[in-house]
Amino acid sequence: MAVARASTLGNVLLATTVLATSATVTVEPRTLTEEEWNQVRPLFKLVEEVAAGKPAASDVRLAWHGYFLNAEAGVVFVPFTLSIEHGEFTSYPVAMYLRVVKRGAPAPAPGPRDALAQYPFEDAAIFERPRDGRMSRGFTAPPGEYDVYVGLTEKATAEGTRPRTVVLKQEVTVPDLQSDFTVSSIFVVDKIEIDPGNRRLNFEEQLDEPYVWWGTRLTPALRTTFGRGDKLSVTFLVYNVAASSDDKPDVEVQYDFQRRAGTAETFFIRTRPELFNAHTLKRAFSVAAGDLIIAGQEMPLQRFRDGDYRLVITVTDKASGKSLTRDVPFTVRGS
């Protein structure tokens, strides 16, 4: 459960086929209980102290994994996952306070701490014990440079005991995904699950489940090393493509695998390109209506020898003549 700053987010669609966006969704805040607010409130001061330069509480060491997806109303949706690298929380639930600050902006005047509306984005949430050791959330922000502060504290177990607490400061550059031909973050995933109910989330639910879109749930791979028995699975969205005369795109996605040895690289393998055009898309697909291309590739790694590799993804919009590349470095080691 959470209380989030009011904003809007365009529906982000992710599946194994090309899907379309539709109407925006609006935050429907849920109110934390007084007990939950009492667990959150100490994090306000701790985050403010870290923002002022004081060393952060670090009873638990966290790693940040963030991604970028285009949204409506001029903002980008930033789903993120915190994975525990060292230590652990021993008492649940864990309270989270999230503050997104425009880098270099002056601090706003103090306000009532039960109202989260002072910064580009603020959020408070309560987490029960995660089954996979991950805590995932999301926020929206316009393109720009931000400092993101995430404070976490566990539930106190006895009077006078100090709960384990951590404040993470993460610099985040939110890209412009609306002005020109581009792509979302490249998601390397461990698993994609399809919900036959195709449930549409409101904005508050989207923050709770940042990797669920229109009934499809991603589990991001928070690692870069894979065994030969694994598959490297990637997926991403293509934005702002040009339309041919039939209101269809003409996009080609090429996947090249390079083997790395120090600073040198050699070509290893290339897959058959993905084509998104009038011959491969459904008749109802419309660039003008805002339909999206979802690209992806799954590569079994049994033929890869131990070593370092780089997947080079080249996306070409043949209708406009524009092209871009994205890299996915990874390592294969063992079976």
Domains observed in the chain: 2-174 (2.60.40.150), 223-332 (2.60.40.3880)
Return the number of other C-beta atoms located less than 10 Å from residue 289's C-beta: 11
Q: From CA 207, how far away is CA 196, in angstroms rounded?
A: 21
pLDDT tens digit sequence for 118-163: 688 999 999 998 878 899 999 999 999 999 999 999 998 877 678 9
User: Which pLDDT band, with edges at 50, 70 and 90, does 4 fall under?
Assistant: very low
User: Which pLDDT band, with edges at 50, 70 and 90, does 30 fall under?
Assistant: low
| Per-residue DSSP letter, 264 | E
What confidence score (pLDDT) does residue 22 get? Answer: 28
What confidence score (pLDDT) does residue 305 get? Answer: 95
Q: From CA 90, how far away is CA 83, in angstroms rounded?
A: 15
46 and 107 Cβ atoms separated by less than 8 Å: no
66 and 83 Cβ atoms separated by less than 8 Å: no
The pTM of this model reads 0.87
134 and 127 Cβ atoms separated by less than 8 Å: no
Predicted confidence (pLDDT) at residue 11 exceeds the cutoff of 70: no
Q: Is 307 left (phi over 0), alpha (psi -120 to 50) or beta?
A: left
pLDDT tens digit sequence for 187-240: 999 999 887 666 778 888 899 999 998 778 999 999 999 999 999 999 999 999
- DSSP reduced 3-state for 55: coil
Q: Which residues pair with 30 in a beta bridge?
A: none
User: Which pLDDT band, with edges at 50, 70 and 90, does 56 fall under?
Assistant: confident
| Stretch 38-42: mean pLDDT | 91
The lowest-confidence range among 65-69, 156-160, 310-314 is 156-160
207: number of CA atoms within 13 Å, CB side? 28
User: Which pLDDT band, with edges at 50, 70 and 90, does 294 fall under?
Assistant: very high
What confidence score (pLDDT) does residue 117 get? Answer: 52
- DSSP reduced 3-state for 180: coil
Percent of the chain with pLDDT over 90: 66
| Stretch 7-33: mean pLDDT | 36
Predicted confidence (pLDDT) at residue 281 exceeds the cutoff of 70: yes
pLDDT tens digit sequence for 91-129: 999 999 999 999 987 665 555 544 555 688 999 999 998
Q: How far is CA 312 from each of CA 90, 103, 111, 190, 262, rounded to the nearest angstrom?
A: 42, 32, 48, 19, 17
Provide the mean pLDDT of the chain: 85
| Stretch 9-34: mean pLDDT | 39
Of the candidates 218, 192, 216, 213, the one whose C-alpha atom is nearest the C-alpha of residue 202 is 213
pLDDT tens digit sequence for 229-277: 999 999 999 999 999 889 999 999 999 999 998 889 999 999 999 999 9
Per the model's pLDDT, the better-predicted residue between 87 and 238 turns out to be 238
Burial letters for 105-125: b for 16+ Cβ neighbours within 10 Å, e otherwise?
Answer: eeeeeeeeeeebebbbbbbbb
- DSSP reduced 3-state for 308: strand
**Locus of tokens 């060292």:** 86
What confidence score (pLDDT) does residue 25 get? Answer: 29
User: Which pLDDT band, with edges at 50, 70 and 90, does 7 fall under?
Assistant: very low
Predicted confidence (pLDDT) at residue 167 exceeds the cutoff of 80: yes
Q: From CA 218, how far away is CA 211, in angstroms rounded?
A: 5
123 and 139 Cβ atoms separated by less than 8 Å: yes
What confidence score (pLDDT) does residue 130 get? Answer: 84
What confidence score (pLDDT) does residue 198 get? Answer: 66
Measured in Å, how far apart are the chain's first and last C-alpha atoms? 40
Predicted confidence (pLDDT) at residue 17 exceeds the cutoff of 90: no
| Stretch 10-37: mean pLDDT | 45
Contacts of 163 (CB under 8 A, 6+ apart): 91, 153, 154, 155, 156, 157
Of the candidates 14, 44, 40, the one whose C-alpha atom is nearest the C-alpha of residue 210 is 14
Return the number of other C-beta atoms located less than 10 Å from residue 305's C-beta: 11
Structure tokens at 241: 């493509």
Q: From CA 23, how far away is CA 214, in angstroms rounded?
A: 13
